[in-house]
Amino acid sequence: MTIPATTDILISEVGPRDGLQSVKATMATVDKCRWIDSLVAAGLREIEVASFVPAHLLPQMADAAEVVRHALQHSGVTVMALVPNLRGAEAALRAGAHKLTMPVSASAAHSMANVRKSPEAMVEEVRAVLALRDAIAPGVRVEAGVSTAFGCTLQGQVPEDDVVRLAELLAEAGADEVGLSDTTGMGNPAQTSRLFKRLFSTIGERTGAAHMHNTRGLGLANCLAAYEAGVRTFDSSLGGLGGCPYAPGASGNVVTEDLVFMFEAMGVRTGIDLDRLMAARAPLQAGLPGEPLYGMTPEAGLPKGWAPQPSAAQG
């Protein structure tokens, strides 16, 4: 993971992909582009803008290549795309994405529902994507996200040993980063701390992002636990938009506005302007009229006289 020298952590905004693919309405391409522009203006430096999947499965992502090409006009921003397989990866690489993220579920039941492959087969798919990347776009980073790492609405409990072993296999396959995703919002802070510490001890610097959900109200607490365990990249979605269409009951990404407020109030620099970040809700609401948005910070506003604290981040 690459964190700018002027910040302590990297907030990776996933709303334009994870958020939009989870709502019934399809946002117009022009509205997606305006929303992405507003996120960049707020200081976001990594944005997951699209998912390269068949349009008949996720019509919300039918314009993925066009959206990637628009986002590439912004300098200093890592344009990321989700790809479930080799075909999607090739399309994303041809479009010019800077970074690919691949979902690899620790739950066999969720893996079959989400990508129609076993976790073991997905490790091989990651290996094939890495070979393709090396052949046509060697500068592109490939992240493997271990989904359902904290539990699965289809399978139930997911053994922690299975999660760590899968992460180890993905690192051995050559993934640049291996993160953990609380796809179903079943995680708790003690579990989050335990799993990420195990990950750091097993795969070291390849340990990637914490992708937490707020389904049961523990999103921020889990992010803080991940931070204290050593994680420095966090996925979140403006307005808490999103979830997983193939995991029943999995709603509620961590709200970017609340996450940024928490870290900045702690003196952990994000490089994001909170006022501009909250203003980025306007183009989102314009593009998805009537879609509910969440967040305690936008609702309450910033405290009187509030200012980010001086950097006090742990190394």
Catalytic residues: 244
Which phi and psi (to 5°) does residue 101 adopt?
-125, 135
- C-alpha span between 275 and 242 (Å, rounded): 22
Within 13 A of 292's CA, how many CA atoms are on the CB side? Answer: 4
Cα–Cα distances (Å) from 67 to 47, 70, 72, 131, 249, in that order, read: 11, 5, 9, 25, 28
Cα separation of 299 and 157, whole Å? 35
Residue 17 structure tokens: 């992909």
